[in-house]
Structure 1
């Protein structure tokens, strides 16, 4: 069963460039639509009634307070920084002087929220990517982790430090922070990876993507409001399960788009940008057929939301629609987590006499459609762009 939500409906399979339809007729080219965006359409829709100044100021103060609450304390930040500094020194030394370590390191790069300046309090984790010149066997990965652990212990024998090998690399942890390391290899080696012998090729590719994302963020998203909005959106994802399908990369791009993509070519204030994110998602920004956001780190046109299943896209949309209705009636404290809890998207709530009922799904996956086929429904759209 397929129903429409926020614009063009969820489409099925068989939409590709030059594919013949019934009777041998050629299918029309796929042209993604741009969902309604009040910011871009504002000249055609002048506001009838301005939001009271005191309400806007209270919302701004709540956003800033929540951001402050979510920002790691000085103690937390120092704990992560100290571990990062020690680990980075060991990595740099291994590049110059690998000693008896057989695998050669091509590059070490910090990535993720710590590097971006969007880390949440209570998550004292810094992310690294290590690119090897050699093939990343599971044995080499564990040997690298042990080598780093031994080097750190040699400098501070009394420090409580653990190393745990993972499917992506290894984690180094002390009592206050964790350095999460992803291990990959240079691009020419990716096609040589063998299942069971080396680290999974998907994890290795994801590590390269993390480097690209980090570089893009560093070059394009240093505006302080963007970092604040990213932190607020990451908290929304953490508290509302309907936003779980949104990846950190999607949230980074959403924040950048909401703040900087506007007719004035100037950064929107935080209140307007936060509302705009919910408005965009509610209008179908991340639904099939939407232009969405083209991944700036891919050499070919890929809309970032197409990595989600159709069910996940629908879930994100209905969650945003429910939250937007709550926000429109003054429930920003509950949305931000200052008051109340996440039940506002799963249970009925009343705001000054206005009842807000949680929305139900508009898309139901047919019983004979598997998860992989669900993704294929979007593949034709991607190919046709």
Structure 2
């Protein structure tokens, strides 16, 4: 599969080529003005014909009986000689390019068009055009083409063809073989095939607007291929309706929108696969009632030449040379190549831009560049400038045996999105990435960057431990990892026991150490023994009583005092007042010393 950047490069070339062949705003404005003017003028000609026919109608006019279909059609049109004008061809489809702007209109008639009607329209059309605009137009008739040719007299030079036709011609051909035609053809009837081609072009324009105009990049690719047909004689037979069918089928069958470059490659792949060759599926014409091959007019040699040319164009595109297919200069890369230098800026600020450092002769190991590189790499590792373990490797080292699961895969084929998950201590972590490996790395980073560490009661472990044991000191034991992956280890001593915690910063490491101390000393069976006891005011009196009792025993004021002194001098007091903590005014276990 080609990379996304390769398709982006093709898109750039195709769009630049498209901008060179697309008509200028002045040309498009001239086309719009000319077509709109002629359409309005033909409407006035139709009105003039209707008024003329009403005034010249005589009693001796012969009425010709028509079949039911013709009667219904005439009734719907209200008796107008010219029923309407419609755009066909490049104007209707929006496929105009420079130096190839054939403008075509279809003038629908109530009856079968004749040479007499053609001359009448041709004579009155210039008069109606002069009423609408001051621009000069040349109007000519072409009986062989069953059309009227209109040309402008200023730049850009444009030519508009108005073809006369009628639905009656197609209805006549669709009748059964044994059915007779009630209406005879006039002697000066225009070319029947030209009229049928005009009706087919009208169906093609409607189909194109419904099926191809909404496809992304379809119109752009068609303009590019029409330019190719004009430049390369091999492609000329494919120009027109067959090319539009192939592009619509190639691009429309994809399950996602395509860029201009990828859409052009898909059309080339379709042609290179051999669909034009004999024995292939052919090209069905969707605008005909009977099964019709739109490529029936092409010879076998023409089909083989187009297939060979498409294969060659596909090879050039695959090797990043689509500019040769488009006959244009290659575009510079959008991301310029960056040259990396091995040299480092010296103390004076001067640096070297050479790609390689010049080899310096020396003695001993300096002669071997490999040993130099190994020694430099060892220095970097010793200085902890980099960390060879990423978040995923670090997590697997801390918690081996984790199972990563693929939850979903979405996105287009060229840019998929994978979602991975992992379960750590009953908590599920999810993350996404363009590949499974990257998604797993993002999950590991998410696991390692957890939220704040809290106790079972939802408190900060450092604050809760401080409530139970005041005056604790946290010491930094080690600091490892590079700037992007720091790891700190903190240690705290509580009741003669040391507890350590690690984290990406000192705050998290300190909280981890405090949480370890709380879980060891103040949870489970140890909670009752190490629970902080409140100091009542009588504690100070007990100490004073013990001191006075000891003094009385020394003075020898009675035998009872010895007994009372022995009781006071027991080891109950130290157990009541925790050593080094909670003694009033900072006194430690001083009472037993007097005993």
TM-score, normalised via structure 1 length: 0.68
C-alpha contact 2:226 2:239 (8 A) present in aligned 1: no
How far is 1:188 from its partner?
Answer: 4.2
For residues 131-156 of structure 1, what are the alpha-carbon distances to aligned partners after superposition, in whole Å with 9 as ceiling and x for unaligned?
A: 21223223322332232222112433
Equivalent residue for 1:376? Answer: none
Question: Does structure 1 residue 261 correspond to structure 2 residue 253?
Answer: yes
Structure 1 residue 129, shift from structure 2 partner: 0.7
| Residue matched to 1:69 | 20
1:66 Cα offset (Å): 1.2
Q: RMSD across aligned C-alpha pairs, in angstroms?
A: 2.6
Which of residues 106, 120, 128 is equivalent to 1:129?
106
Residues 1:234 and 2:226 are matched in the alignment: yes
Q: Choose the corresponding residue for 2:203, options 194, 212, 215.
A: 212
SS in 2 for 1:205: helix
* 1:119 to partner: Cα distance: 0.7
Q: Which runs of 5+ in 1 are unaligned?
A: 1-46, 341-385
**What is the CA–CA distance in structure 1 between the aligned matches of 2:282 and 2:267, rounded to whole Å?**
12
Shift of the alpha carbon at 1:323? 2.4
Find the counterpart in structure 1 of residue 118 from structure 2: 141
Could you tell me whether the CA contact under 8 Å between 2:112 and 2:168 is conserved in 1? no
Per the TM alignment, residue 179 of structure 1 is displaced from its structure 2 partner at its CA by 1.9
Contact 2:109–2:165 (CA under 8 A) maintained in structure 1: yes
1:317 aligns with 2:294: no
Structure 2 counterpart of 1:20: none
Supply the distance in 2 between the matched residues of 1:195 and 1:56 (Cα, whole angstroms). Answer: 59
Cross-structure match for 1:187: 168
Displacement of 1:218: 1.1
Kindly tell me: are residues 292 and 237 of structure 1, through their superposed partners in 2, closer, same or farther at Cα, counting changes over 3 Å? same
The answer for the alignment partner of 2:521 in structure 1 is none
**Which residue of 98, 114, 118 maps to 2:91?**
114
C-alpha separation in 2, matches of 1:59 and 1:145:
48
Match of 1:245, SS? helix
Distance 1:237 1:193 in 2: 43
User: What corresponds to 1:85 in structure 2?
Assistant: 36
Which residue does 1:337 correspond to in 2?
Answer: 327
Question: Which residue number corresponds to residue 288 of structure 1?
Answer: 278
- The question of whether the paired residues in 1 share the 8 Å contact of 2:272 and 2:307 is answered with yes
195 and 57 in structure 1: CA distance in 2 versus 1, 3 angstrom threshold: farther
For 1:200, the equivalent position in structure 2 comes to: 191
For the Cα contact (< 8 Å) 1:149–1:172, is it kept in 2? no
- Is the Cα–Cα contact under 8 Å of residues 260 and 268 in structure 1 kept in the other structure? no
Residue 337 of structure 2 is matched in structure 1 by none
Q: Is the 8 A contact 1:108 1:131 kept in 2?
A: yes
| Aligned equivalent of 2:136 | 160
Counterpart CA distance in 2 for 1:305 and 1:339 is 33
**Greater CA drift, 323-332 or 188-197:** 188-197
Residue of structure 2 equivalent to 1:251: 243
Q: Where do residues 5-44 of structure 1 align in structure 2 (5 Å cutoff)?
A: none
Cα distance in 2 for partners of 1:184, 1:149 equals 21
Q: Matched residues in 1 for 2:222 and 2:288: separation?
A: 21
Residue 302 of structure 1 corresponds to: 292
Query: SS in structure 2 opposite 1:106?
Result: strand
Match 1:270 to one of 260, 267, 270: 260
Distance in 2 between the 1:187 and 1:314 partners? 39
**Counterpart contact for 2:271–2:310, Cα < 8 Å:** yes
- Measure how far apart 1:276 and its partner are: 1.8
The unaligned stretches of length 5 or more in structure 2 are: 57-79, 174-182, 331-595
CA distance in 1, matches of 2:285, 2:84: 24
Supply the distance in 2 between the matched residues of 1:258 and 1:270 (Cα, whole angstroms). 13
The range that moved more, 171-180 or 81-90, is 171-180
State the secondary structure of the residue aligned to 1:126: strand
Task: Please state whether the residue corresponding to 2:98 is helix, strand or coil.
Answer: coil
Task: Pick the structure with greater CA Rg.
Answer: 2
The correspondence of residues 44-63 of structure 1 with structure 2, limited to 5 A, is 47=1, 50-51=2-3, 53-63=4-14
Single out whichever of 221-230 and 318-327 deviates more from structure 2.
318-327
- Cα deviation per residue 1:62-91 (whole Å; 9 max; x = unaligned)? 111111222111100000100111111122
> 1:326 Cα shift?
2.9
Once the 2 structures are TM-superposed, how far is the Cα of residue 97 of structure 1 from its aligned partner? Answer: 4.3
| Other structure's SS at 2:108 match | strand
Q: Deviations over 1:307-364 (max 9, x none)?
A: 3222322232222223223333333112112249xxxxxxxxxxxxxxxxxxxxxxxx
> How far apart, in 2, do the equivalents of 1:138 and 1:123 lie?
29
TM-superposed CA distance for 1:208, in Å, is: 0.3
Greater RCO structure (CA 8 Å; 6+ sep): 1
How many residue pairs get matched?
288
Which secondary structure does the structure 2 equivalent of 1:305 belong to?
coil
Shift of the 154–63 alpha-carbon distance from structure 1 to 2, 3 Å rule, reads same
Separation of aligned partners in 1, 2:186 and 2:273: 42
TM-score (norm 2): 0.45
Q: Out of 131-140 and 237-246, give the one that drifted further.
A: 131-140
| CA displacement, residues 190-228 of structure 1 (integer Å, 9 cap, x when unaligned) | 668979833222111110000000100111112241111
Distance 1:310 1:128 in 2: 33
Query: 1:274 aligns to what SS in structure 2?
Result: helix
1:54–1:94 Cα change, 3 Å = same
